[in-house]
Amino acid sequence: MSEPFDLVIRGGTVATASDVFTADVGIRDGRIVQIGETLAEGRQDIDAAGRYVLPGGIDSHVHISQPSGDGIVMADDFESGTRSALFGGNTTVLPFCLQEKGQSLRAALTAYHALADGNCYTDHSFHMIVSDPTASVLGQELPALVADGYTSFKVFMTYEGLRLNDAQILETMDVARRTGALVMVHCENEDAIRYLIGRHEASGDVAPRAHATTRPIVVEREATHRALSLAEVVDVPVVIVHVSNGAAIDEIRAARARGRKVIGETCPQYLVLTADDLDGMDWEGAKFVCSPPPRDTASQEACWRGLETGVFDLFSSDHCPFRYDDPAGKLNPKGKTSFRHIPNGIPGVETRLPILFSEGVMKGRIDLSRFVALTATNHAKVYGLERKGRIAVGMDADIAIWDPEARRTIRHADLHDGADYSPYEGIEIRGWPTTVVLGGKIMVRDGTLVGAKGDGHYRARALPTI
Ligand code: URP
Ligand code: ZN
Ligand code: ZN
């Protein structure tokens, strides 16, 4: 007789990126070992009748404890950031490890691991942010890190101190060509933004709304076109992150039509927020300052169509939390003098999946399998998480059990991050993940935390399979 299951999730509606079916899921030693009808009793059983049994979400674009300069402090450390992710139905997050200028990548990673180790409620892995692509970084360090399982890195075309010029981007992409790693690109034209910021400040227009006006669609479109062209020159696949509008989507479509491998990512802020939110009373608009900024309803529709039609492979949060009413956050002393000093980024790791489920699946825009692909399976394939993102025998037992009948209104008071607001406050949601299992261990049971800090582990990654 075979050993009993450690856990059986019984009678739920299981969804993969291709199928939806009713089954029991048997788990032993942290893995899914059997999927079938009427499995034998486990040491623990969860009755999932009437619930959806989905792969735990993988949020492959989050910022946690990232140094933000100028007395600004990110609102989440690994404890609060991964706890919030977990309550939002996620079992793996991929934060960015920032290389500061002059710093070796290894030193940045050592410091980042020290912050994460023993403090996480979800599994995690890191993308590098390459801000100083010296000869030794590109020649030795980065290839060695790829071999060690850090198989993706992000480059910026905007933000002073972070942005790379075209020559540097080409050189960094060449490391991806040589190693098989993936380059992610933040596409906004910094020089054009600086020009527009200068014009706005000169006219005394310094309120948060000007953040959106000085980062118009054209600066994203131009940079997207350039990033795709540079990737074509080097002949590498590329990830275009946080795409906000139809013009950038058209660039992705055009590159694909030329035979390029392009992975597109969008985020909740481009589906349910607009630039008008930055108008908020007094400086409340600062709560919505992120880059690229939320656009207009036509852009929202374009992003929905991109999700429906496959332009987007990834739906991520770009969780980048700063407290609002805090001198180390949005309302820092300089931030109150000009939109230019408001830290860029908004929280959203806990609300990413409920927003897409409610607005996408429950409103009939996407089906459950597409939801699973966009929120888990594709992230695992793109970023080399070989045992994650699928409900299948042999995979890590990372599972979120959803109550599709749950009705909630997003209130920051109910969330678990370290910020003091949610940009999604007041949005009505249908469907919420109520129980979350990580590596076979129940972490959240019926909305209550039962797992412990440190149950989440670092996972080295393979090369992308795209
Ligand atoms: O405003 C944003 N998105 N901040 C996070 C950093 C980034 O560019 O992803
Ligand atoms: Zn970015
Ligand atoms: Zn980001």
Residues within 5 A (CB) of ion ligand 2: 186
Residue 179, classed as helix, strand or coil, is helix
Helix 246-257 × helix 297-309 angle, to 10°: 30
Per-residue pLDDT of the chain (466 residues; tens, 9 = 90+): 679 999 999 999 999 999 999 999 999 999 999 999 999 999 999 999 999 999 999 999 999 999 998 899 999 999 999 999 999 999 999 999 999 999 999 999 999 999 999 999 999 999 999 999 999 999 999 999 999 999 999 999 999 999 999 999 999 999 999 999 999 999 999 999 999 999 999 999 999 999 999 999 999 999 999 999 999 999 999 999 999 999 999 999 999 999 999 999 999 999 999 999 999 888 999 999 999 999 999 999 999 999 999 999 999 999 999 999 999 999 999 988 999 999 999 999 999 999 999 999 999 999 999 999 999 999 999 999 999 999 999 999 999 999 999 999 999 999 999 999 999 999 999 999 999 999 999 999 999 999 999 999 999 999 998 8
For residue 1, what pLDDT is reported?
60
Pick the CATH number of 7-54+385-415+429-449 from 1.10.10.10, 2.30.40.10, 3.40.630.30, 3.40.30.10: 2.30.40.10
- Report the predicted TM-score, pTM, of the whole model to 2 decimal places: 0.98
- Listed by start position, the domains of the chain span 7-54+385-415+429-449, 57-370
Q: What span, in angstroms and rounded, lies between the C-alpha atoms of 462 and 385?
A: 6
Give me the half-sphere count of Cα atoms (radius 13 Å) on the Cβ side of residue 203.
9
| DSSP alpha helix (H) spans, 275-342 | 297-309
For residue 465, what pLDDT is reported?
87
What phi, psi does 146 have (nearest 5°)?
Answer: -60, -45
Report how far ligand 3's centroid is from the alpha carbon of 29 (Å): 34
Ligand 1 touching residue 316 (CB < 6 A) = no
Ligand 1 touching residue 243 (CB < 6 A) = no
What phi, psi does 115 have (nearest 5°)?
Answer: -70, -35
Question: Any idea which architecture 57-370 has in CATH?
Answer: Alpha-Beta Barrel (3.20)
Q: Among candidates 443, 446, 462, which has minimal Cα distance to 82?
A: 443
What phi, psi does 11 have (nearest 5°)?
Answer: 75, 15
Ligand 1 touching residue 154 (CB < 6 A) = no
